[in-house]
A and B are shown apart, each in its own frame.
Chain A
Amino acid sequence: MSSPAARRERALLLMGLPALLLLGVLFAWPVLRLLSMSVEDGSLEHLQRAVLDDLYLAVLFDSLKIAGFVTVICLVIAYPLAFWLSRASKIGLALGMFALLLPFWTSVLVRTYAWMVLLGRSGVINRMLRDWGLIESPLPLLHNLGGVLIGMVHVLLPYMVLPIYAALLRIDPDLPRAAEGLGAPRSAIFRRVILPLSLPGVAAGCALVFVLSLGFFITPALLGGGRVIMIAMLIEQQVRELLDWPFAAALSVVLLAVTLAIYAAINRLTKGARLAS
């Protein structure tokens, strides 16, 4: 006779098994198989090229730089927004959530297309500025870093707002009240109580946004106009145009390693910060 606990565990495992099989066959296996292609012919040559060649290294650093910019911009915009949402009236919250979630659910492609319409040389913004006589010749808003950043921030902002908003909501409303009763002015209530208690949300948001932007493909491909190359675009190019699978695999190894390392580092860092504060 097995114990009820053991039977329960067996039933649970049975429930999860189909999904785990799917993840194994269609996620873990293809990813690991691809990564192994980088050393398929028994040499480290492809990996060496991916991390040592100046050209590819530059793309990697550009990708990191863009991901960093996007994360910082998202944080600067998202924190005040989340703070406002956490204190908003019912109607404000409903409108805010709608404005946040509708773009969040709308296809990245639709949004990227819309930014092309807005930012192009003869796009909506340039047209309006010229009609109002504010500029002579069209501003270069598209096909450069700025255009890519605008598009990426637009896509990733909700990923930063939602965790911070959730962390702010989790703060017991009696805590700021207690701080006020103990004599803290509003600035101190924010700095000493609200900010430190919302840091886990900030960390989660930063980790998510950084990691997601590092692997971005569609938005930089369309808004960068070939002038902004991110590592995911490089991988696609190796497979599609050059059919160089081992090197695409090597670049994938680099991308995945950097992604996981940074994800782990941000989580570790904030855990430390939380204990220290």
Chain B
Amino acid sequence: MNPLLLWPDPPSPDVVRVLDLAGVPWSAAGDEAAARAGSWSGAVVVADDDPDAAFAMARTLRRSDLAVAPLLLVVRGTHVADLADRHDVFDDFCVSPFHPTELEARVRHLLAREPGLELGPEVIHYDGLVLNVETYQAAIDERPLDLTYMEYELLKFLAMNPGRVYTREVLLSQVWGYEYYGGARTVDVHVRRLRAKLGEEHAALIQTVRSVGYKFGESRWGT
């Protein structure tokens, strides 16, 4: 599958994160020359900082000799009105700040139209760990993990955000929900159970950050 073209270069880290987690290949192109140098499955143009330059780039990409399609524009809410006369330069748009789920859904939808481009089910990969979000199945080094629901949800939450440090309170409210009456120790208990199930050689995937909380793996985007 050809990569998605991302503009500007360097690309928005938030967009990159969504694409990486979704397993969509991408490459940044800052100008027309860079765009001409590659073959693209589509483009995501982020108009956050410089809408005029972004619209100009979109128009360039859509010129018949380049014809990069489909094209997704990411615009601030205050610039949505600017799209009114520019329907010919994009196929879809997404209002920023966007929710990762929305951006991912739009990218999938756009790419699904492309013949020969098929994305598998939503899968999170990290080292030997594979989490299939649709079937709720997790495996490490191809060995299935027998997780309880909460263990699965906690692992999924952590693995979606590698390298980020979460406090117990945040994990409790994000994974268990506010209505859960158990204390923050619940998180420790589940982390310990997850480590036990991941097995010795992978237990270190979930690291304890002393007097803060936990983090999973290392960030793939630098910190």
Task: Tell whether A and B belong to one assembly.
Answer: no
